[in-house]
Structure 1
Amino acid sequence: MVDIATRVYNHKWKIDPIVRSLIDTDFYKLLMCQSVFRNKPDTIVTFSLINRTTRIPLANLIDEGELREQLDHIRTLRLTRGESTWLRGNTFYGQRQMFRPDFMEWFEALQLPPYHLERIGDQYELTFEGKWPEVMLWEIPALAVLMELRSRAVLRHMGRFELQVLYARAMTKLWEKVERLQRIDGLRIADFGTRRRHSFLWQDWCVQAMNEGLGNAFAGTSNCLIAKNRDLEAIGTNAHELPMVYAALADTDPALARAPYDVLSDWHEEHSGNLRIILPDTYGTEGFLSRAPDWLTQWTGIRIDSGDPAKGAEVAIRWWQSRGEDPREKLVIFSDGLDVDKIAALHAQFSGRVRVSFGWGTLLTNDFRGLVADDALAPFSLVCKAVAANGRPTVKLSDNPEKAMGPEAEIARYKRVFGVGEQERVEVVV
């Protein structure tokens, strides 16, 4: 097992680059990329870094030259032969050859496109623009770099023994969470923590701890590289990016209203089984489900990713019942701001009423709260989102207005088209 504290103490980034592979990314990104490669390959998209926690002055903490070095390094990466063989030949979600030969040939030749980086006050403006299949693959590594450089900045001046104690405490903290999870009968949980992890080595350690501590209750990891290296299931389906871009491309209000269902129609043609998971909250869950076509009721389940998770699950249950479906046969995946208390409460409330699963993110792979002075390693909310498509702004409404994004006029238009009324604000912690 890697001695993380010693590696941090002796850090030379050329030995420990933050992103060391093009598959050091989330599995859903590759699934979505293949769908985009097939359906919208020439769409020009802009992604932008958004620090929702503005009190964290990233440009004061992270050296611009070091950030550029890490981003430039990512542009040198190519799929290795072993990585290509794993993607081409492995079984994912029970399906062989998940990734088509034409997509793999494109991916094997891919170099990530250039980036634009500029300091604005105490924050960085980091943007990526180009063809959607290429640009979208910047999101996860860009976030991983910024999160880990922030961690390194805080840890840089700590001594060897101080670091050993810090990581011992963090390991103990996580293992105590694992022990509490062991007591939940019928638990099904996966690692969703790549985007805002403390570091790659720490995520890898957390995944190993979950695997040993939870056994069959641990479903796998969203991180493709760790899944490959640790012989685990790669977990993930689709994200808000797809309906946001499809909606931005819509020319009329009726086309806009259809856009979220057009996304899932394209997805339906490619995937079956547990990959048919609805993410309904991009423009409001209740409105999305009330207008959903009947064929979506046959999908395997729903992921709840914003708003009150219990309320979201109740809405889904009522929807299935109203369409003649048995909710007990449906899968509900909770994935927003989870920690052990919330996981235990949601499992107790919904176990037996639906099939319950959890995608545990930031507070699995980046919970150093209370372990250093001034809580300087506390996790924060950093995202990298598609902000424009073919020159048009994207919009996300969410079930929590704190997560909404887009120009005010467009937000108002989307609320009108999708019939979104007053929403309850929930603090975004991670």
Structure 2
Amino acid sequence: MVDISTRVYNHKWKIDPIVRSLIDTDFYKLLMCQSVFRNKPDTSVTFSLINRSTDIRLAEMVDEGELREQLDHVRSLSLRRGESTWMRGNMFYGKRQMFRSDFMEWFENLRLPAYELEKRDGQYELTFEGSWPEVMLWEIPALAILMELRSRAVLNSMKKFELQILYARAMTKLWEKIERLQPLQELKIADFGTRRRHSYLWQDWCVQAMIEGLGDKFSGTSNCHIAMQRDLEAVGTNAHELPMIYSALAETDDRLAEAPYDVLRDWHEEHEGNLRIILPDTYGTEGFLKHAPDWLAGWTGIRIDSGDPAEGAETAIGWWKSKGEDPAKKLVIFSDGLDTDKIIELHEQFSGRVRISFGWGTLLTNDFRGLTANDALAPFSLVCKAISANGKPTVKLSDNPNKAIGPESEVERYKRVFGVGEQELMEVVV
């Protein structure tokens, strides 16, 4: 096991690229990339970094030269032979050859496209523009790089024993969380923490702690590189990116209303079983389920990623019942801003009523709250989202208005088309 504090103190970060592989990314990005490669390969998309925590002035903390160095390193990466073999030959979700030969041949020859970087008002403006299958793979590396460079900026001023105590306290904090989860019967929990992790080495340590502390209750990691290295299940399905871009491409309001379901029609053709998970909140869960085609009720489950998680699960249960489905056979995946208290609460509330799984993200892999002066290592809310497709702006409404994205006029149009009324403002923790 790596001695993280010594590695930091010896200032060997230069031999540790933040992103060390094209598969140091979330599994769902690769699944979505294959779907996009098959269905909409010629779509031109722009992604942009968005720092929701505006008090964290990244451009004043992170050196531009070092940021460019890390971004340029990612552009030099290509799929290694062992990584290609793992993707081509491994079993994912009970299926071999999850990734098609034509997609793999394309991926094996891929280098990520150019980026644009500017400073504005204490923040970095980082954008990626190009064909959708290529630029979408920048999202996770870009976030991981900015998050870890911010961590390094804080750690650089700390001395040897400070670092040893810091990591000892962080390890103790995580282990105490794991101990609280150990008594939960039939718990299923996975690591979803790549995008806003403290560092690669820390995420890997957290995964190892989950393996030892939770055993079979730990169902895997979304990080493909760690899954390959640790012989774990790679987990993940799809994200808001798909309906956001399909919707931006819609020419009329009628086509816009159908776009989120068009996404799932394409997904239905490619995947089955536990990969048939509905993500309903891009334009409001209630409206999505109200107008959903009947065949979607037969899908395996649903992921709750914004709004009040208990309320979202109750809405899903009511919808399944109205469609003649047995909720006890359905899977609910909770994945928004989870920490131990909320995991325990939701497990107790829904255990036996539905099948439950948890995707534990930032507060698994980056919970250094209260461990440094001025809370300088506390996690913050950084995202990288598609902001346009073929020159048209994208929109995300979410079940929490604080997570909404898009020009005001388009947000109002989407609210009208999708019948979104008043929504409750909720704090965005991470």
Fold-level match, TM-score > 0.5?
yes
| Corresponding position of 1:64 | 64
The CA deviation string for residues 330-354 of structure 1, in whole angstroms up to 9 with x for no partner, is 0000000100000000000000000
How do 1:90-169 residues align onto structure 2 when only pairs under 5 Å count?
90-169=90-169
| CA positional deviation for 1:9 | 1.1
The CA deviation string for residues 346-389 of structure 1, in whole angstroms up to 9 with x for no partner, is 00000000001000000000000000000000000000000000
* 1:366 paired to 2:391: no
The whole-number CA distance in structure 1 between the counterparts of 2:419 and 2:72 is 44
* 1:354 paired to 2:370: no
Letter in 1 for 2:91: T
| CA positional deviation for 1:150 | 0.2
The whole-number CA distance in structure 2 between the counterparts of 1:305 and 1:369 is 22
The CA deviation string for residues 84-113 of structure 1, in whole angstroms up to 9 with x for no partner, is 000000000000000000000000000000
Please, what TM-score do these two structures have when normalized by structure 2? 1.00
SS at match of 1:367: coil
Aligned residues between the structures = 430
RMSD between aligned residues: 0.4
| Corresponding position of 1:213 | 213
Structure 1: runs of 5 or more not aligned: none
The whole-number CA distance in structure 2 between the counterparts of 1:127 and 1:61 is 19
SS at match of 1:14: helix
The CA deviation string for residues 100-142 of structure 1, in whole angstroms up to 9 with x for no partner, is 0000000000000000000002000000000000000000000
SS at match of 1:311: helix
| Corresponding position of 2:409 | 409
User: Identity over the aligned pairs, expressed in percent?
Assistant: 81
* 1:393 paired to 2:393: yes
| CA positional deviation for 1:186 | 1.1
Please, what TM-score do these two structures have when normalized by structure 1? 1.00
The CA deviation string for residues 183-232 of structure 1, in whole angstroms up to 9 with x for no partner, is 11111000000000000000000000001100000000000000000000
* 1:316 paired to 2:277: no
| Corresponding position of 2:38 | 38
| Corresponding position of 2:379 | 379
The whole-number CA distance in structure 1 between the counterparts of 2:93 and 2:303 is 17
* 1:249 paired to 2:244: no
The whole-number CA distance in structure 2 between the counterparts of 1:261 and 1:185 is 35
Letter in 1 for 2:225: L
Structure 2: runs of 5 or more not aligned: none
| Corresponding position of 2:183 | 183
Letter in 1 for 2:257: A
| Corresponding position of 1:265 | 265
* 1:75 paired to 2:75: yes
The CA deviation string for residues 165-190 of structure 1, in whole angstroms up to 9 with x for no partner, is 10000000000000000011111000
Letter in 2 for 1:258: E
SS at match of 1:387: strand
SS at match of 2:13: coil
Letter in 2 for 1:69: E
* 1:422 paired to 2:422: yes
Letter in 2 for 1:419: G
78-87 or 4-13, which deviates more = 4-13
| CA positional deviation for 1:13 | 3.3
| Corresponding position of 1:47 | 47
Letter in 2 for 1:217: K
* 1:170 paired to 2:182: no
| CA positional deviation for 1:15 | 1.1
Letter in 2 for 1:377: L
| CA positional deviation for 1:10 | 1.7
6-15 or 288-297, which deviates more = 6-15
Letter in 1 for 2:261: Y
The whole-number CA distance in structure 1 between the counterparts of 2:215 and 2:45 is 41
Letter in 2 for 1:4: I
The CA deviation string for residues 214-262 of structure 1, in whole angstroms up to 9 with x for no partner, is 0000000000000000000000000000000000000000000000000
SS at match of 2:116: strand
The CA deviation string for residues 3-62 of structure 1, in whole angstroms up to 9 with x for no partner, is 000111123333100000000000000000000000000000000000000000000000
The whole-number CA distance in structure 1 between the counterparts of 2:403 and 2:14 is 36
The whole-number CA distance in structure 2 between the counterparts of 1:415 and 1:256 is 11
How do 1:221-236 residues align onto structure 2 when only pairs under 5 Å count?
221-236=221-236
| Corresponding position of 2:275 | 275
The whole-number CA distance in structure 2 between the counterparts of 1:37 and 1:7 is 39
| CA positional deviation for 1:294 | 0.7
